[in-house]
A = this chain, B = another copy of it.
Amino acid sequence: MDLIRIHECLCDRTRLRIIHLLAAGPLCVCHFQAVLREPQVKVSKHLSYLRTRGMVVAKRRGNWMIYSLPPRPGRELSAHLACLQDCAREEPVLRRDLLRLARLAPEVAGAGACGCAVTAKA
């Protein structure tokens, strides 16, 4: 049952935040670090966990790895992502993450470009 794999991916706080952020668009590891305020190892390992289970895809762009949700997620995954979006409105941590993400673009623009979507906006 694929459902179990989905829930395994979402049953950790860091991974839940990662997936939620990805629903807003692709992101590179350094921006996950900045928004989540978690060390690089932790972020990278959870991304690896998600990747091996097909919950995210990654592509390299220079030094950076850009992570995204699967381009064509299956029915079950889509349903759960929608459910997450629905519930996220009332989760302070997730809302705060989105705020931090929005405030990230200007900072990053000053600091020098990494390859991902946030930088592209600036």
Contacts and interface: CB of A to CB of B under 8 A. Distances in A.
Residue in A16, A76, A87 with the greatest tally of chain B CB atoms within 10 Å: A87
A93 B7 contact: no
A107 interface: no
Contacts of A11: 4, 7-8, 10-11
Contacts of A87: 3, 75-76, 79-80
A76 B88 CA distance: 9
A12 B16 contact: no
Given A76-B87, A79-B87, A86-B79, A93 B1 contact: yes
B10 A3 contact: yes
Contact of A10 (B7, B16, B93): B7
A111 interface: no
Interface of A: 1, 3-4, 7-8, 10-13, 16, 75-76, 79-80, 82-84, 86-87, 90-91, 93-94
